[in-house]
Amino acid sequence: MTQDAYSVSELLQTIKFNLETNPSFKSFWLKGEISNYTAHRSGHWYFTLKDEGARISCIMFANATLSVRFPVKEGDKVLLKASVSVYPPQGSLQINVSQMSLDGVGDLFLQFEKLKKKLFDEGLFDESHKKKLPRYPESIGVITGAKTAALQDVLKTLNLRWPGIKTTVYETLVQGEGAALKIIDQLLLADQNKHDVLIIARGGGSIEDLWAFNDERLARIIYQLKTPIVSGIGHEVDVTITDYVADLRAATPTAAAQAVIRDYKEVNGEIIQYRQLLSKLMNQKLNQSLLHFSGLKNYSVWSNPELITQDSTIHLTMMTQRLFQYASTMKPTENRLKSLNEALRFAAIQSIRTKENTLMSLKHDLGSSLKGNVSMKSSQFSQIVGLLNAYSPLSVIQRGYSITKHEHKVIKSLKEIEINDVLTTRINDGEITSIVTKKESYGKEKL
């Protein structure tokens, strides 16, 4: 019995494994009120989440706390994205928190997650659809707010990295009611102007401030754009639907500008390196050619050019002699071919005449045979016709006999008709229609 018992560690590890592998507990939303909040010096947050009837311990690790956009305090009603686990040393149930928002803002998080899943399932985030950025763009379109820090950061970075780069700014609302539609209008205009690449940018802010970039209509327009687009929205921890659907997501507006254009100093350095490499390769090739030429310059043909054609001249002379030899041997062969041709023509004429005589004889024999056969068949046909006429019912009728029918059936017995039946009688020159009024049998009782 004791051999089947769990140890405490085994039990807790089994519970931990079952909880952590259950899909229902891997990622879910949880709401409640914060109490016993402690921000540890390691950067981790420890607190209790409670409601009217229960409470549970929670931990939010340092890397996750960076995404929280409000000061956390006792009594805050919050919405958490979390997973559940067990802490075996103390045997306690524990909630690992990955996202936190105030409960009022939590509805936006839920809408964000719902839309993200919908668009992901439709394939709007697929890497296969994302367009490749040009390595050296000549024209860049920037869609952002007017006179904003994000705009200044993008323009400054672009000009520092590539002075004089052609940049067109499409000013738009970046937050508040109607901002998403304004952004869409400017994106479509920028796409029509056929820039090499577009940047959509905005500085950091709360989820409400960035909500225009979570608009479904905006996401679908970005997906349909012909021009590659880079998103640089908010700070590094801020992620929007626009970031997911863009061809490239940059952590900040400045990072977006750095992503679309190379630093001219870096490019200039590469050009210098390539120039040095090319010069080195050219020198190597030149040295190899000089070395090869030094071996050729003492070649005997340079002092006596006739040596170049000497072998060819000798070969041509030999071939000419052989050609004359072949011509002298061809004459007897030509005469023999003429003789054979005449003999073949004569034999062909004789054979054709013999075949023609044979054909004429066969034609005469075939004609005679056909005439005899036709005469014999005509005689046989006349005999058969005479026999058919002798047995024909029509011949019998011509001798004074008749045929009586009832409903197209020849009557052979009185039993086949009844009083008042209509009968048709065929005689030599026509038909007679009659009605039965009486039936009388010969040598038998009356019917």
pTM of the model: 0.49
CA-based nearest residue to 78, from 53, 54, 48 = 48
In sequence order, the β-bridge partners of residue 140 are: 167, 197
Among 48-57, 242-251, 325-334, 338-347, the range with the most confident prediction by mean pLDDT is 242-251
User: What are the residues whose beta carbons fall under 8 Å from the beta carbon of 259, sequence distance 6 or more?
Assistant: 133, 230, 232, 248, 250
Secondary structure of residue 41 in the 3-state scheme: coil
Q: What is the pLDDT of residues 195-243, one digit of tens each?
A: 999 999 999 887 788 999 999 999 999 999 999 999 999 887 778 999 9
Mean pLDDT of 384-413: 77
Structure tokens at 400: 């004074």
Secondary structure of residue 25 in the 3-state scheme: helix
CA-based nearest residue to 236, from 214, 222, 247, 251 = 251
pLDDT score for 105: 60
Q: What is the pLDDT of residues 27-58, one digit of tens each?
A: 888 889 999 999 999 999 999 999 888 989 99
pLDDT score for 1: 45
Secondary structure of residue 12 in the 3-state scheme: helix
Mean pLDDT of 437-446: 70
pLDDT score for 402: 80
